[in-house]
Amino acid sequence: MTAVTRLHRAAGPVTLADASRRFLRRDAFEPPTRLAYGRTLAALTEVVGADADIAAMTTEQLEDELLERWADAAATTYNRHRAALLSFFGWCVERGYLAANPAALVEARKVRRRSEDERRERPISRDLIAALWTLDGVAGRDRLFWRMAYETWARAEELLGIDIEDLDTVRREARVHGKGSDVETVWWATGTARLLPRVIGDRTGGPLFLASRRPTKPMPAANVDPHTGRARLSYRQTERIFAEAGRRLDPDGPPWTLHRLRHAGMSHAVEDGYSVAAIRAKSRHESLRSLEVYTNPSADSIRAMTDDLDGTARRRRRQGTR
């Protein structure tokens, strides 16, 4: 029988900051995974403190103090953060930092199939998109991010990871790290092209999207702008600002998530008659089946199509032009 050596808890308390640093620096992670796990652990640190003893963490603490902040998020978002905590604390158990995984008893949320109406309502309408572009009181950085997300159909994590060196402003394209860390290209249109110079200014390198203030804790050099000392803009702050814009423009509608910008860009292209193959190429989806949710036209589009197919109304329009 193979002998199993039981790991013993390290001498003295292991802080959350130390455990997180060791966990995230492992070679097992691709950059996007490390970035996603880092966001979850940063939220945990914000709640319990960097000096919290890993061994003292409880399931109730995770449920009541941390995961509660994602109570209104989609089930997939909630489950993603739960999975990150499961992986982190599972690794801590293997290292002997604590006896049991406190995230193991946190229940995953059931992902329910959306109804046809819910799927159609999910993209932001063209009217609201137009209102978003002219919304007052918006920083140029945020306005650029929204434009770029809508025009490139890139994922929010990909855009936040862009450095100025990744941009080709002449060709209106940028390199991003897609799924699996593959380097891919995204393209933007006039709206983004007009805003980029204002946000970049005289900077020649570093993150494109910057937080408003300097970081209060040490960060990797790649995530800090060498000119201003400010850190790369976080996903959480970006989504919070966008959600606030959504509440101003559509107070009675569903919550505005960053993914809805990408969804709106693709759905509007479908309504404009572009082929699914072309949309697949620009969106960089691996399969046509994954595009099904975006090919559901909006209620306004269906209404307009019905009117256009109305033979009586069509004859009246022709007679009116004579």
Tell me if 7 is assigned to some domain: no
Same domain, 203 and 250: yes
How far apart CA 152 and CA 195 sit, in angstroms, is 14
Q: How confident is the model at residue 287 (pLDDT cuts 50, 70, 90)?
A: low
Query: Domain total for the chain?
Result: 2
pLDDT at 267 over 50: yes
Supply the range of the domain harboring residue 61. 16-95
pLDDT for the residue 2: 44
Q: How confident is the model at residue 220 (pLDDT cuts 50, 70, 90)?
A: confident
Share of residues in the chain with pLDDT > 90 (%): 43
User: What mean pLDDT is predicted for residues 60-77?
Assistant: 78
Tell me if 137 is assigned to some domain: yes
Q: How confident is the model at residue 294 (pLDDT cuts 50, 70, 90)?
A: low
pLDDT for the residue 5: 41
Same domain, 90 and 230: no
pLDDT for the residue 180: 66
pLDDT at 210 over 90: yes
Same domain, 167 and 199: yes
How far apart CA 156 and CA 261 sit, in angstroms, is 9
What is the distance of C-alpha 58 from the center of its chain?
A: 28
Same domain, 171 and 263: yes
Same domain, 27 and 157: no
Q: Which of 225, 234, 235, 224 is nearest to 201 (CA)?
A: 225
Share of residues in the chain with pLDDT > 70 (%): 81
pLDDT for the residue 289: 61
pLDDT in tens, 34-53: 888 888 898 888 888 889 99
Same domain, 259 and 179: yes
The 183-187 sheet, strands edge to edge: 167-168, 173-177, 183-187
pLDDT for the residue 197: 96
pLDDT at 322 over 60: no
Of the two residues 93 and 110, the one the predictor is more confident about is 93
Q: How confident is the model at residue 161 (pLDDT cuts 50, 70, 90)?
A: very high
pLDDT at 115 over 70: no
Same domain, 129 and 88: no
Average pLDDT, the chain: 83
Q: How confident is the model at residue 8 (pLDDT cuts 50, 70, 90)?
A: very low
Of the two residues 70 and 284, the one the predictor is more confident about is 284
pLDDT in tens, 123-137: 788 999 999 999 999
Of the two residues 74 and 56, the one the predictor is more confident about is 56
Tell me if 197 is assigned to some domain: yes
Say if residues 230 and 242 touch (Cβ distance below 8 Å). no
Same domain, 67 and 160: no
User: What mean pLDDT is predicted for residues 300-319?
Assistant: 64
Q: What CATH code is carried by the domain that includes residue 280?
A: 1.10.443.10
Same domain, 187 and 290: yes
pLDDT for the residue 221: 86
